Structure 1
Amino acid sequence: MASHHRLSPNALLILGFALIILAGTVLLRLDVCRTGQDLPWVDALFTATSATCVTGLVVVDTGTFFSPVGQGVLLGLFQVGGLGVMTYTSLVFLLWRKRISLSDRTAVRQTLLLDPGFHLGAFLRRVVFGALAIEGLGAALLWALAPGGFSPWSAVFHAVSAFCNAGFGLHADSLMQWRAHAGVNLVVMGLIVLGGLGFAVLIELGGWPRAVWRRLRSGRVDPGARLSWHARVVLSTSLWLALGGAAVVFLAEFALGHDGVPLTTGLWSALFQSVTCRTAGFNTMDIGALTNISLLVMIALMFIGGSPGSCAGGVKTTTFRALLSFSLARIMGRRQAVVRRFALDEGSLNDALTLILYGITIVGLGTLALCVTELGPHPHAETRGMFLELLFECVSAFGTVGLSAGVTGELTPWGRLVVTLLMFVGRLGPIVFVGVLHDMRRQEKFTWPEKRLPIG
């Protein structure tokens, strides 16, 4: 009797992303997608991966190299990548009125929402239509606030790119010309933050004002008037990371130098750069001209990234919060790691530590690979400063951020393939790949004898 093996949801997700990237690569090679210039296969693959994995690293100028058709292909790629292949495919199944298997329901639930009792169909509809509404509002605001800089198409492109945390722009200098424009800064930062909070938190925030209003009118307790523990952890962690990063960047770039820059411009620039490190990829400052202090802080912010179930990459804010609580508990001699009056269970801590370890390993291997492909046998004295730039590039790719210190366009073909792989792994997350390996393993039904190993 022949046995039938079904691919696991994790394997299907990886395969789906790979197929979309390949399709995007072929489309970007078409003459109709370009303005007459040739695009090698390696560069087409790099660009398609960057768009699908909502990274934003580019080897050509998006606004001048690609035609409106090519720009539309890119928009479609990072829209699909931002909202997630599984979200779209599950929605298509619902529209076709076909049943979704239990394994697919479980995968979507684990990826997007922590509540095990949610209704999948209603949730997916709210995700897609809510995202489209936010992007539409953002596009309208960009066009209204700066009609001379954003045409209707440009406003839509940048709004979708910002909400999906893609970082693709149609201007050669990204958003540097609007570094002092309060309206553009607020709209783009708002889209980035909303896209990086996570769909579960967004839906909860969407219903929160109505619940508060009902409570005020009736005087009765409404469970929806108080945000969940998960939402409060995500919001507080995101806020402190953004403000802390902005404070360091402002001190390093404006308080210690850059005389003559107006205070408000410095504040907007520092805050925007801290927020965009949440895997958005836009910039209002020249990254290659920043101090090492700012670059190191930005590397940390890019590695952390956004929140679970969002358009953002990185190891996620909740992972950082769990690791921080674990470290504080050990320093203070507490047995439990506490986050906002609740102790984290052992599974959450193990997941956080595992994800941090895999993230560091992947970034380390990627940096080593780029040192081989880009620096080769050259001694350190001849390549001063390059290591930090290559590390920055690797973290940016792994965190699907899209910021660069200026080395992306100078990478060798092999270096571009390394960064392409980092973007792919960073978008899907090490845990997804570990999950595929876990599906292929058999659980051991015995335990090994334990021994204590001296540490430190």
Structure 2
Amino acid sequence: MKAKASSPFWVPIYAFFATILVGGLLLKLDICHPGKELSLLDAVFTATSAVCVTGLAVVDTGSFFSRTGQSVILALIQLGGLGIMTYASLVIYLMGKKVSAADRIAVSQTLIHNPSFNMGKFIVGVVTAVLSIEAIGAFLLYFMDPKGFYPFSAVFHSISAFCNAGFSLYSDSLTSWSEHLGINCVFMALIFMGGLGFYVMTEIWQIFCDLICKRNKKVKAHAMTWHTRTVLETSIFLVIAGAVALFLFENMKAHPDAPYGISKIGALFQSVTCRTAGFNSVEISNMTNIGLIVMIFLMLIGGSPGSCAGGLKTTTFRAWLAFIIAKIKGRSQVVVSWYALSEENVNRMLTLLALASVILCSAIILLSITEGSYLPHSQARGHFIEITFEAISAFATVGLSTGVTPELSNSGKTIIITLMFVGRLGPVWLLTAINSWQSEPRYRLPEDDLPLG
């Protein structure tokens, strides 16, 4: 039993839980919010949102917390962005100690889902690259608007953007810069890079270096691996398709005086930030239902494997799409680009979709009970889509909200905390950890076919 409890699949769960607990206790201290009361549940909620890089907040980060409290939140975001195990293993590596096999498996599964890699070099390279990108982002934000993004604010928002956290020091997030092309581009670049995955970023950088070193030589075809190409193609497609959909649907006014609408840059920004970042340059509560549905779809997909982003991941969406196409065409193989997915890979994708559906449906039902089950339908119209939006935003670690987060009951906050935690780890990871406690029975039952459909 002790060996199963110390399984490497449980190590990130323990690490995240411990960090959330410590972060919650720190945020509860008066020094983080002098003269203001913050319940332990709200402190844990904020810590969970930061560590799980979600961005949902029960209090305004900029006005409620002191600089000390904001610094604690920033540290939790940075820790959660790359994963607690990454930093722990980095410290061990820099101290010259041997990294255990358990840590190797845990970090490799978190970052690139490949246990056969040079862990020390990879982690040092990733952390160095991330800190460099965040530093460049902070400098650009400060350079473009020194008043709005003073040094601490620039650093805070750059880290929050790259880690796809969505925490902002401004109560209206980024709506004040909704038409500022430069600020929008910096945030979109940080969010996009943070959601690609560290393996993809490393490979792109290597390809770029090779092109610079061998610019006079003929570049080989298919320089990118299958994984990297799939991630990039799917990510770019989702950004463009999401932006077009949001621009069209939000500007289809039912009458000339309709109070909603969105600009092209606003639609593009929201399409990018829906992929688990959580910043908003438009007021979410003023968006149409069809616009919210588009955003829900984008939030569910999320970023890519091994990144700061959450969601079901772009590769899962691409595999699901290929699975549907294969069934329509009557093919036995599920093909993505020039490779066919293994049966185990397809089963993993279907398991992930099934688990996510069960978790989200259960959470939405529970939230409907805790957040206004006493209201008749005539009075609760619109409430269901707000609860659904909130639940999916938490599960996909996005952080966008229609404004119901501060109004949640204690039971509702507990449900959202659980969704953020499970969503950050991933339902398949959680299932794998639970399965590590189980054993396969040593017998087989007779098989038969059950009529379906």
* TM-score normalised per structure 2: 0.96
1:11 maps to a residue whose letter is: W
Select 2:413's aligned residue among 411, 416, 421: 416
1:90-137 deviation per Cα after TM superposition (whole angstroms, max 9, x unaligned): 111112222122232223223322555421100000111110000000
| 2:181 equivalent in structure 1 | 182
Instruction: Please tell me whether the aligned partners of residues 173 and 281 of structure 2 are also in contact (alpha carbons under 8 angstroms).
Output: yes
From the superposition, tell whether residues 273 and 253 of structure 1 become closer, same or farther in structure 2 (CA, over 3 Å): same
In the alignment, the residues of structure 2 paired with residue 99 and residue 178 of structure 1 have an alpha-carbon distance, to the nearest angstrom, of: 48
In the alignment, the residues of structure 2 paired with residue 311 and residue 237 of structure 1 have an alpha-carbon distance, to the nearest angstrom, of: 17
SS in structure 2 opposite 1:37?
coil
SS in structure 2 opposite 1:252?
helix
- Equivalent residues, number: 451
SS in structure 2 opposite 1:93?
helix
1:288 maps to a residue whose letter is: S
In the alignment, the residues of structure 2 paired with residue 19 and residue 204 of structure 1 have an alpha-carbon distance, to the nearest angstrom, of: 32
| 1:249 equivalent in structure 2 | 246
| 1:272 equivalent in structure 2 | 269
Between stretches 376-385 and 328-337, larger displacement belongs to: 376-385
SS in structure 2 opposite 1:375?
coil
Matches within 5 A, 1:15-30: 15-30=14-29
Select 2:363's aligned residue among 361, 366, 379: 366
* TM-score normalised per structure 1: 0.95
From the superposition, tell whether residues 236 and 3 of structure 1 become closer, same or farther in structure 2 (CA, over 3 Å): closer
Instruction: Please tell me whether the aligned partners of residues 161 and 191 of structure 2 are also in contact (alpha carbons under 8 angstroms).
Output: yes
1:124-168 deviation per Cα after TM superposition (whole angstroms, max 9, x unaligned): 001111100000000000011112211011000000000000000
| 1:80 equivalent in structure 2 | 79
| 2:331 equivalent in structure 1 | 334
Instruction: Please tell me whether the aligned partners of residues 5 and 437 of structure 2 are also in contact (alpha carbons under 8 angstroms).
Output: no
In the alignment, the residues of structure 1 paired with residue 186 and residue 3 of structure 2 have an alpha-carbon distance, to the nearest angstrom, of: 51
Q: How much has 1:72 moved relative to structure 2?
A: 0.3
Is 1:453 paired with 2:432? no
1:14-58 deviation per Cα after TM superposition (whole angstroms, max 9, x unaligned): 111111111111111111111421111111111111011100000
From the superposition, tell whether residues 248 and 222 of structure 1 become closer, same or farther in structure 2 (CA, over 3 Å): closer
In structure 1, list runs of 5 or more residues that go unmatched: none
Q: How much has 1:257 moved relative to structure 2?
A: 6.5
1:57-78 deviation per Cα after TM superposition (whole angstroms, max 9, x unaligned): 0011111100111000000001
Is 1:170 paired with 2:169? yes
Instruction: Please tell me whether the aligned partners of residues 214 and 222 of structure 1 are also in contact (alpha carbons under 8 angstroms).
Output: no
| 2:160 equivalent in structure 1 | 161
Q: How much has 1:425 moved relative to structure 2?
A: 0.9
In the alignment, the residues of structure 1 paired with residue 427 and residue 377 of structure 2 have an alpha-carbon distance, to the nearest angstrom, of: 31
| 1:438 equivalent in structure 2 | 435
Between stretches 237-246 and 438-447, larger displacement belongs to: 438-447
| 1:399 equivalent in structure 2 | 396
Instruction: Please tell me whether the aligned partners of residues 50 and 420 of structure 1 are also in contact (alpha carbons under 8 angstroms).
Output: yes
Instruction: Please tell me whether the aligned partners of residues 300 and 396 of structure 2 are also in contact (alpha carbons under 8 angstroms).
Output: yes
| 2:207 equivalent in structure 1 | 208
In the alignment, the residues of structure 1 paired with residue 256 and residue 210 of structure 2 have an alpha-carbon distance, to the nearest angstrom, of: 48
SS in structure 2 opposite 1:269?
helix
From the superposition, tell whether residues 3 and 194 of structure 1 become closer, same or farther in structure 2 (CA, over 3 Å): closer
| 1:89 equivalent in structure 2 | 88
| 1:235 equivalent in structure 2 | 232
Select 2:296's aligned residue among 296, 299, 319: 299
Q: How much has 1:352 moved relative to structure 2?
A: 0.8
**Paired-residue identity, %:** 49
1:127 maps to a residue whose letter is: V
Instruction: Please tell me whether the aligned partners of residues 54 and 399 of structure 2 are also in contact (alpha carbons under 8 angstroms).
Output: yes
In structure 2, list runs of 5 or more residues that go unmatched: none
| 2:107 equivalent in structure 1 | 108
2:324 maps to a residue whose letter is: S
Select 2:383's aligned residue among 386, 396, 420: 386
1:337-390 deviation per Cα after TM superposition (whole angstroms, max 9, x unaligned): 111111011111111111111111111111111111111232222211101000
In the alignment, the residues of structure 2 paired with residue 443 and residue 27 of structure 1 have an alpha-carbon distance, to the nearest angstrom, of: 43
